[in-house]
Amino acid sequence: MAKKPNAPASHFSPAQLQASADEALSVVKSIGADEQADLIDAWVAAGNVAAVARVAQEEAAPAPARKAARRGVNVLKSRGISVPEKNTTARPFAQPTTRQIEAWYVPFDAGAQGSVITLFTRAVGKDCEFVDVLFNDALGVTRANGGTISYSRLREWEANRSNGRGYEAVNVSVAWARWRIAEARRQNSKSGLLLPLELDGFPHLLSPVPAADPGHPADQLGLEANADTVRVAGSLTLHNEPEFRQFLLPQNVMQEMLGEVGKQISALGRQPEQSEIEAFLEQQKKAATDRFFQQEVRQQLAGQMRDVLVSVHHRAGKERALDLLATRDAVLNAGLITQPPSEIPFLVAFFDKTLAMMVSGSNGQLSIPLPRPAANAGPVLSQEQLAAVEAARQAP
């Protein structure tokens, strides 16, 4: 097995390479999962022992970084370099501890039918207080629950949920998490959905709410929007990302599209060939894409893509995040005459994916509705036949 080469230090900024022990965790979390192990290797090569040791010792460190850091500690020790050990000195029972509040964010959870934010406290030797808030853009806050749990149990609980959805929650700022929940609560007053009573039990976690929008986590990634045509052309594959796996179209939209296919089949006046059905489907998918993805729908989708961007960058890295950002820019700039939605593979693929789910749920069959003849419809007669019928009515 070939040995992995050392990560080039030039790939990272001087500030990242010279991060102190206190800065190490935040620096690691600010980059994509695919870059975290490379940064640790760069620290090892540069002799930044303090940063490597801190990430190796922190339970809150992302798994790829923590694994690489523990490996890096062993490398440093094998070179005879002294590595700081984790402080395990016993503390007096009466010694005060500082509680730190953190936040996790999930942009879309199929079970919650929306987003999830978890706010919790952390303190040495203390259990966590936490509140789990589920919400969506249409209704506002839909559910909330919380309580007290050990930090290890909290991480285990979130890990089980992550396995179900295919990706883990992302650390976000507490200020933004509180702001986003407050915005969702305001939506409850518009939708009429009652707020869960459990929210009242955690004012110390949910407040204070910032007076102004502190900025979306996606804006902190330092990525620039650019509708790169190559990235947009390959945007169909974004549906393979776990964050988008459960994004499906409403059934009424699909039935309308299939109804148009049925009209084309009926107009043939004969049993269609399979190739003809496939051609009708392809034609109507594009037409339905332009009908459905009007400006308001595209703006709503762009907002969801912005939320997902945070998770994709954390899980899949910068390049995949740029694919998503370029596609989002194309979605926002689409028009019905120039750059129609049907020219964006990501949007057309919504119909492909939803059709596949419908076929899967119907034992491999796709039901295409054919137009029914009118109840009072009779035989179609020529002008000469109609004249003969009229003449017969007037005869004695």
Dist. CA 327–CA 297, nearest whole Å: 15
Angle at 351 between CA 350 and CA 356, to 5 degrees: 100
Dist. CA 116–CA 336, nearest whole Å: 34
Dist. CA 137–CA 304, nearest whole Å: 9
Dist. CA 203–CA 98, nearest whole Å: 18
Contact 16, 27 (CB under 8 A): yes
Angle at 142 between CA 139 and CA 144, to 5 degrees: 150
Dist. CA 50–CA 84, nearest whole Å: 7
Tally Cβ neighbours within 10 Å of residue 251. 10
Strand pairing report for 114-122 and 100-109:
antiparallel
Burial class of residue 339, CB neighbours in 10 A (0-12, 13-18, 19+): middle
Listed residue (232, 206, 223, 242) closest to 306, CA to CA: 223
Residue 302, CA distances (Å) to 157, 293, 325, 331, 339 in order: 30, 11, 10, 7, 16
Residue 337, CA distances (Å) to 256, 282, 292, 302, 332 in order: 22, 19, 15, 20, 14
Residue bearing tokens 């995949």: 320
Tally Cβ neighbours within 10 Å of residue 243. 25
Listed residue (38, 347, 167, 90) closest to 158, CA to CA: 167
Residue 386 has what pLDDT? 60
* Dihedral of the alpha carbons of 306, 349, 331, 224, in degrees to the nearest 10: 50
- Indicate the residue type of 206: L
Helix H or strand E segment including 251: helix 251-268
Contact 304, 271 (CB under 8 A): no
Summarised one tens digit per residue, pLDDT across range 50-91 is 888 888 888 778 888 888 888 988 888 888 788 877 654 444
Give the three-state DSSP class for 103: strand
Residue 12 has what pLDDT? 80
Q: What is the pLDDT along the chain (396 residues), one digit of tens a residue?
A: 344 444 444 568 777 888 888 788 878 887 877 788 888 899 898 888 888 888 888 877 888 888 888 898 888 888 878 887 765 444 444 444 567 899 999 998 877 788 999 999 988 778 899 999 999 988 999 999 999 999 889 989 888 988 888 899 999 999 999 999 999 999 999 999 999 998 989 999 999 999 999 999 999 888 887 768 899 999 999 999 999 988 999 999 999 999 999 999 988 888 889 899 999 999 999 999 999 999 999 999 999 999 999 999 999 999 999 999 999 999 999 987 778 999 999 999 999 999 999 988 888 888 888 887 655 555 555 666 666 656 665 665
Residue 338 has what pLDDT? 75
For the four alpha carbons of 161, 163, 164 and 168, in that order, the dihedral sign comes to positive
pTM score, whole prediction: 0.69
Tally Cβ neighbours within 10 Å of residue 57. 20
Dist. CA 162–CA 109, nearest whole Å: 9
Residue 2 has what pLDDT? 41
- Indicate the residue type of 214: P
